[in-house]
Chains A and B, each alone.
Chain A
């Protein structure tokens, strides 16, 4: 399975500012995903990061708030823009892995714990 390096691991940010989270995969993957986990909640998919095209956003998430880049098959960034305390969450990136083995064992980064004050 792919190994994902995600950074920063945590940050405390002022409201109104933006934070960019980076994910580096150790192998080329077609699909990368960005999730948010709010306290006590499940992991919620924000968007699918597509290489060479715009990200596909889920209902309730928009590009202006969560711009995503996917410049190549091993790297993606998620920016949380104009942050408010409600954006305080854990943000996780994920990549497909193992589909060729038919187990759909998507791999996750270690997460970014964001606190907005």
Chain B
């Protein structure tokens, strides 16, 4: 049973446009959400996170939106750059509980020049 789902295995966008990566979760105990970026032959790199008490967190070109009622979060990248091409993993955890990261399967983003 996948608790964190990324239903789009891949996404392709043009340089300069917006990239929107989506993530759904089923466990209502999750209260902290993270996005990781992974290049080939490298480990995942922490990108941005959001607490369940917020609905938006912004860091430069990256913004994460959280819709708790829908159990849905999304990562927006604006403007997209070719260097953003990577696999993006959504992850969730329950702070004060198990505190173990639960990952989605990832979405491969390709930004075309």
Contact = CB atoms under 8 A, between A and B. Distances in A.
Contacts of A43: 44, 89, 101, 103
B43 A109 contact: yes
A105 interface: yes
Contacts of B106: 42
Interface in B26-78: 32, 34, 36, 41-46, 49
Nearest to A96: B99
A42 B101 contact: no
Nearest to B42: A110
Interface of B: 2, 4, 32, 34, 36, 41-46, 49, 89, 93, 95, 99-106
Given A43-B103, A103-B46, A104-B32, 5 more contacts: A33-B101, A42-B89, A92-B43, A94-B101, A104-B34
Interface of A: 1, 4, 6, 9, 33, 40-45, 48, 92, 94, 97-98, 103-111, 113
